[in-house]
């Protein structure tokens, strides 16, 4: 009985040593976002400038509409698209720094729409809208 008990404790101790202790690293939540975006509803109230632009976009024939504000805010309204994602790229091209914000839209059905607000630092060089049809290109 004592040998079985010793063997049991040795087995448990061995498993503990082999598996080790894994501490979960703390997440750094103090970072400022470089670029942020949010999906918006057409039913909400917006500033006069955004509301006017949105009503014009809704009445026009085009499918992709974009409003750029001086404070580093972009609004995108796209008909026929189901999802949007936004990325930020900071590159050094032959000693010249280029920063880019890219919004990628996933094509959907005719009655689908996406309405997003994108905010980013004022010093972004390029803002690009990209549309993809294949879901594998989106993710």
What's the CA gap between 49 and 28, in Å, rounded?
37
Mean pLDDT of the chain: 82
Q: What is the mean pLDDT of residues 99-128?
A: 91
Q: How many CA atoms lie within 13 A of 78 on its CB side?
A: 25
N-term to C-term CA, the chain: 59
Number of Cβ within 10 Å of residue 130's Cβ equals 12
Report the C-alpha gap between 118 and 7 in whole angstroms: 62
User: pLDDT tens for residues 4-52?
Assistant: 555 555 555 555 555 555 555 554 444 456 889 999 999 999 999 999 9
Q: Domain map of the chain by residue range?
A: 33-138
pTM, rounded to two decimals: 0.70
Write the CB contacts of 135 (distance below 8 Å, at least 6 apart in sequence): 106
| Predicted pLDDT of residue 29 | 47
pLDDT of residue 119: 93
Exposed / middle / buried, residue 70 (Cβ in 10 Å: 0-12, 13-18, 19+): exposed
């Amino acid at each position: 009985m004592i040998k079985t008990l010793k063997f049991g404790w040795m087995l448990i101790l061995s498993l503990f040593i082999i598996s080790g202790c894994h501490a979960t690293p703390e997440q750094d939540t103090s970072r400022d976002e470089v670029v942020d975006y949010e999906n918006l509803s057409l039913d909400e109230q917006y500033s006069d400038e955004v509301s006017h632009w949105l009503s014009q976009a809704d009445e026009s024939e085009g499918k992709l509409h974009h409003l750029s504000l001086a404070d580093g805010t972009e609004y995108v309204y796209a008909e026929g698209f189901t999802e949007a994602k936004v990325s930020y790229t900071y590159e050094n091209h032959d000693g010249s720094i280029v920063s880019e914000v890219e919004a990628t839209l996933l094509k959907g059905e005719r009655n689908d729409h996406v309405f997003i607000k994108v905010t980013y630092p004022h010093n972004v060089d390029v803002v690009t809208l990209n549309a993809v049809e294949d879901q594998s290109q989106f993710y």
